[in-house]
A = this chain, B = another copy of it.
Amino acid sequence: MSQPLSRQAEPPLNIHALKSCAQCSMHQLCLPMGLEDAEIDRLDKIIGRRRRLERDERLYSVGESFRNLYAVRFGHFKTYQVNAAGEAQITGFQMAGELLGMDAISGTHHCDAVALEDSEVCEIPFARLEDLFGEVPTLLRHFHRIMSQEITREQNVMLLLGNMRAEQRFAVFLVNLSARYATRGYAANRFQLRMSREDIGNYLGLTIESISRLLSRFKKQGWLEVDKREVTLLDPVKLKALAAGTDVCSPMA
């Protein structure tokens, strides 16, 4: 409700400027995946404005009534829940091609979503998407698959938080980011961490100090390089083994 309305009127003017899903580099990953050209056009017609957000700007907050889903066009987001005592838990980091807001279909938003850097999303009015479901069954089926995958993703995080040690959690985190960047055509073994150490720690159920120590230790073991927020995975095989738990977890020392 209380969103700054000043900036959003101007149309995007730079290289990111695209008008349709068909032209978007993410359409193989995003909602239009697997649709015929004609169907993509129909989807295109219902998509609202492309909304720009700057770093730390909020896309939606807890309690806001649900109206739109959002597809990340570029940039990164974090979503987090806040409990009664005011403590937050980051529930996910979202990047280009990923969908935000599925937890809100029940009526109101149950978490906050914040841009980690200057980002852009496609606003997808859910009521119109529902109309389209009736006409484009492929779209509905794919939407269900996406929601189902989100449930599975969260179950994997529960597995991580419920019974992995710090070292394994962090390895899972790195390997997961690596795979997602690879899917998007970026280098698998060299990427920028878009989130702070604090955000990583919060997401993994660890303190910022633990993340810092983990990073130092992994570096000392020769498994990776770190320069500020740029990470280079030097031994991805080892990291994958750690993540899978097939390799033993050594103490924090």
Contacts and interface: CB of A to CB of B under 8 A. Distances in A.
Chain A interface category by residue count: 35 or more
A141 interface: yes
A131 to B, nearest CB: 9
A148 B87 contact: no
Interface string A132-153: 0110010011001101111110
State how many copies of this chain the complex holds.
2
B106 A162 contact: no
A130 interface: yes
Contact of A148 (B104, B133, B155, B204): B104
Contacts of A145: 105-107
Contacts of A156: 81
What does DSSP make chain A's interface, helix, strand, loop or mixed? helix
A17 B235 CA distance: 59
A84 B171 CA distance: 14
Given A141-B130, A245-B85, A91 B147 contact: no
Contact of A89 (B85, B111, B159, B203): B159
Contacts of A246: 84-85
A230 interface: no
Interface string A88-105: 010100000000001111
Given A244-B84, A244-B85, A103 B162 contact: no
A2 to B, nearest CB: 23
A158 interface: yes
Contacts of A111: 155
Given A134-B137, A151-B154, A154-B155, 13 more contacts: A83-B244, A85-B245, A87-B163, A102-B148, A102-B151, A103-B148, A106-B149, A110-B152, A130-B140, A140-B140, A147-B147, A151-B151, A161-B162
9 contacts: A89-B163, A91-B158, A103-B152, A103-B155, A106-B148, A147-B147, A154-B155, A162-B205, A163-B205
